Structure 1
Amino acid sequence: MAIGLIIIGDEILSGKRVDKHFPKVLELLSARGLQLSWAEYVGDDPERITNTLRRTFASEDIVFCTGGIGATPDDHTRQCAAAALGVGLALHPDAKVKIQERIADTAREAGITPVYDAPENLHRLKMGEFPVGSSIIPNPFNKIPGFFVPNVSGEGAHYFAPGFPVMAWPMFEWVLDTRYAHLFHRVARAEKSVLVFEMPESTLTPLMEAIEAEFPLVKVFSLPHVGDDKTRRHIDLGVKGEPSQVEDAFRKMEEGLRQLKADYQHAN
């Protein structure tokens, strides 16, 4: 079961906001022994959002989605999720309770009595209209929930949170810790690498291919760096995967580098 991330919003693609979700989701997953398999950025275009979700709903993946679940004209994610699933939107009863709790809290802070049927408060309830069949994700910041819905494949699910990091991140943590704790640290992984200086990748490619052929549970990675005023041109060359095979593969890598008379050092 792969894990994916969809980040929705014109403000990210235009550069008005710098995306902070991608590195944070990597951090949340890594702390639990999990890995992100893919990520996509999508602007506030309803057709594109719907088509993206229709495709990912057909998968068996665990998918985190952030952005566009508010109730302003540029928020389309709730409607697009419903369209992608071929279902309608409906006010979720648990979401209604939480949103009205937020309305009461806001009124109390202002020293006034909440008027639940005031136009602005009725409009707030739209934030609790989710695709039919959804469940809520609690929001510890301001109580207005996100939602999740199973994939049409019967495996995996999509989890929708606001674009605000202060809300989305604890909501995603809740999803992981409440629904997927059984997946934590199930697959042991290790990674080891070296910095190889002033050597072209073409010279290293046969060694990389030989390592992957001999160790099927290991992936070899090669990340070239052009160098700067602090370090010479080099390649971050390494292996990652099943721990015991990583150890053997790394030894083979170092042997190969010595045979090539490579100038290298262990990465920090």
Structure 2
Amino acid sequence: MQNDPRFFALIIGTEILNRRRSDKHFDFLSRVLPERGYKLSGSFIIEDDPDLIVETLRFLASIPGSVVFSFGGIGSTPDDHTRLAAAKALKDGTLHTHTEALELIEERLKHMEVPNRRYPLRMAELPEGAELLRDNPVNGMPGFGLDGRFFFLPGFPEMAHPMVLEALDRHYPPRRKKEYRKSLTALTRESALIDVMERLPEGVELSSLPKLYSDGPRVVISLSGEDAERVKKAYRLFVDALAERGIPYSEGDTVHGG
């Protein structure tokens, strides 16, 4: 387990980009990770292009602390490029028959009506050093992980999401990490508070959401961090500036300066 992992989703599927299917992986990861004390740092949706998959994986692997959940393209049809792309981007560039995966797939095929069984067996051809992810309640076909950082799963959420939890339980168990948050809504433009934003203490994450209504502009300021005192200090910077400038703002149901 890495000390400070940064999680990314790589969603592979031309059918998502051309809107024949809708993505459900981003919503799942962005909900599950915070529940376990982590967060999603980025999400990428790319088409079924072998070179693009390789380059995207290499880019994500170059990010310090990156952990990647890749969805789609690990099957046995000609448009399933992810297994080989993972080998090229992260390992020796070739696929190897994974004995355990082969046995598992052969066992599953005994209970399935498959016209030509040699094609599904291709799914046992994996990059060097792959570890299996088995928790697929739909058809039992495995996903796989590499180096405890890169996890390759089917595109179908019903198959993939239990394996995401399996990978997290194995490598990134829940951690007791509490986040403190304070927010306010100011009746002004975002630009009126940029000088305050530039003075925030380290360790405080800022979210600034400008809005424009018929009665004038507003900006929602949200501050979060693990250190409650730093978050309170940052919040006080905004409150003091708003009071000094005579700008009304609200905290929850309380309106100040109106």
TM-score range, shorter chain: 0.7 to 0.9
Q: Are 2:229 and 1:237 equivalent residues in the alignment?
A: no
Paired residue for 2:136, among 117, 135, 140? 140
Cα drift, residue 190 of structure 1: 1.7
SS in 1 for 2:198: helix
1:62 equivalenced with 2:67 (yes/no)? yes
Query: How far did 1:219 drift?
Result: 2.2
1:254 corresponds, among 233, 239, 244, to 239
Task: Give a deviation string over 1:81-105, Cα, whole Å, max 9, x none.
Answer: 1122233212212212221232123
Q: What is the letter of the counterpart of residue 143 of structure 2? A: G
Contact 1:4 1:38 in 2 (8 A): yes
- Counterpart amino acid of residue 89 in structure 1: L
- Give matches, 1:196-215, under 5 Å: 196-197=186-187, 199-210=188-199, 212=200, 215=201
Amino acid in the other structure paired with 2:155: G
Contact 2:10 2:44 (C-alpha < 8 Å) held by counterparts: yes
Whether 2:13 is the aligned partner of 1:9: answer yes
User: Identity, % of aligned pairs?
Assistant: 36
Aligned-partner Cα distance in 2 for 1:34–1:235:
27
CA RMSD of aligned residues (A): 2.2
Residue 227 of structure 1, CA deviation:
4.1
Give CA deviations for 1:116-171 in whole Å, capped at 9, x if unaligned: xx861121111221112111111332210001112xxxxx5200001111111111
Question: In the superposition, relative to structure 1, how do residues 207 and 57 fare at CA in structure 2: closer, same or farther (>3 Å)?
Answer: closer
Q: Distance in 2 between matches of 1:180 and 1:232?
A: 46
> Whole-Å Cα distance in 1 between the matches of residues 216 and 158 of structure 2?
40
Q: Could you tell me which amino acid in structure 1 is paired with residue 189 of structure 2?
A: P
Correspondences of 1:185-204 after superposition (within 5 Å): 185-197=175-187, 199-204=188-193
- Match for residue 226 of structure 1? 212
Deviates more, 1:86-95 or 1:156-165: 86-95
d(CA) in 2 for partners of 1:266 and 1:105? Answer: 60
Aligned residue type for 1:169: H
**Structure 1 residues 171-206: Cα deviation after superposition (integer angstroms, max 9, x where no partner):** 10111112111xx33543222211223x11111111
Separation in 1, partners of 2:59, 2:219: 36
Matches within 5 A, 1:1-268: 1-59=5-63, 60-84=65-89, 85-106=91-112, 120-141=116-137, 142-150=139-147, 157-181=149-173, 184-197=174-187, 199-210=188-199, 212=200, 215-227=201-213, 233-244=217-228, 245-266=230-251
> Secondary structure of 2:237's partner?
helix
In structure 1, distance between residues paired with 2:96 and 2:210: 51
Runs of 4+ in 1 over 4 A off after TM superposition: none
TM-score (norm 2): 0.86
Shift of 1:237: 0.8
- The one-letter code sitting in structure 2 at the alignment partner of 1:66 is F
Q: Is the 8 A contact 2:180 2:225 kept in 1?
A: yes
Change over 3 Å in CA distance of 1:225–1:105 after alignment to 2: farther
Runs (5+) with no aligned partner, structure 1: 108-117, 151-155
> How far apart, in 2, do the equivalents of 1:233 and 1:167 lie?
45
Q: CA deviation at 1:267?
A: 5.2
The 1:104/1:22 distance shift into structure 2, 3 A limit, reads same
Cα distance, 1:233–1:267 mapped onto 2, change above 3 Å: farther
With over 3 angstroms needed to count, the CA separation of the structure-2 counterparts of 1:6 and 1:102, relative to structure 1, is same
CA distance in 2 between counterparts of 1:58 and 1:208 reads: 30
Q: How many residues align?
A: 245
1:184-234 CA-partner distances (Å, limit 9, x unpaired)? 33543222211223x111111112222x1xx21212221112348xx9742
Secondary structure of 1:105's aligned partner = coil
